[in-house]
Amino acid sequence: DIQMTQSPSSLSASVGDRVTITCRASQSISSYLNWYQQKPGKAPKLLIYAASSLQSGVPSRFSGSGSGTDFTLTISSLQPEDFATYYCQQSYSTRAYTFGQGTKLEIK
Amino acid sequence: EVQLVESGGGLVQPGGSLRLSCAASGFTVSSNYMSWVRQAPGKGLEWVSVIYSGGSTYYADSVKGRFTISRDNSKNTLYLQMNSLRAEDTAVYYCARDYQGDGDDAFDIWGQGTMVTVSS
């Protein structure tokens, strides 16, 4: 199976900060990389699909980039509602999807 | 409104069985790939199983041979039959629509989740 590794595992930041989370795949996955946001007690929410496409309704401060094995999620200016856990997920192998371990974004 | 609503979770003893349901509205289950994803308490997301629109099914190694994904087209509902349950299957189980676009594939619609607890 394709392994997905996120860094950092946790991150403290302030409102207004620019934040970047990285995700690395154990093999090339082209652009089959998605990002999700999850708040406590809630289902995950799709933010970015195909590495860099913004899901409808998601604020433009979220952006994604990368291809092959290395990907990033950037939040340009953190808002209070952005404090959550973020997961990357590969959809290259549709018979065995895998998620990263998650990055918990906390208020500094 | 496009939504997914899971049901069927609960407390079950090790070795027992449980069937989860996921009722869809606003779209057709059989025309989409549909997946189950779980999350153990305090842990990350783990993909469990997928059923393709054509009917092919695939499973994570951790549940292969014990879980079965299926759908009822007349009820527009997805199911997960879970047998030989273990303590490590304790988790919130989510169903999700696995949207297949042109060069993309992502879980764009999620249910609210249903809790499964395996304990004696």
Nearest CA in chain B to A56: B108
Inter-residue long-range contacts of A48-54, CB under 8 Å, 24+ positions, other chains counted = A48/A73, A49/B99, A49/B101, A49/B104, A49/B105, A49/B106, A49/B108, A50/B101, A50/B103, A50/B104, A50/B106, A53/B104
CB contact under 8 A, A94 and B33: yes
- Nearest by CB: A99 against B44, B98, B111: B44
Cβ of A32 under 8 Å from any chain B Cβ? Answer: yes
The pair of structure tokens assigned to B49 is 């199983």
How near does any CA of chain A get to the CA of B94, in Å? 8
Question: What is the mean pLDDT of the segment spanning B27-46?
Answer: 97
Instruction: Check whether A108 has a pLDDT greater than 90.
Output: no
pLDDT of A105 reads 97
- Token representation of residue B55: 């009917």
User: Is pLDDT of B4 > 90?
Assistant: yes
- Kindly report the backbone phi and psi dihedral angles of residue B31, in degrees, each rounded to the nearest multiple of 5, phi listed first: -90, 0
State how far residue A42 is from chain B, nearest Cα, in angstroms: 7
- Contact of A87 with chain B, judged by CB distance below 8 Å, is answered with yes
How does pLDDT run across A51-104, given as a tens digit for each residue? Answer: 999 999 999 999 999 999 999 999 999 999 999 999 999 999 989 999 999 999
Look at A43 and B110 and tell me if their CB atoms are within 8 Å. Answer: yes
Q: Let me know: does B1 contact B108? Beta carbons within 8 Å.
A: no
pLDDT of residue B102: 79
Judging by beta carbons within 10 Å of its beta carbon (0-12, 13-18, 19+), is residue B67 exposed, middle or buried?
A: buried
d(CA B48, CA B113): 14
Does the pLDDT value for residue B101 go beyond 90?
A: no
B101·A49 Cβ contact <8 A: yes
Question: What average pLDDT does the structure give for chain B?
Answer: 97
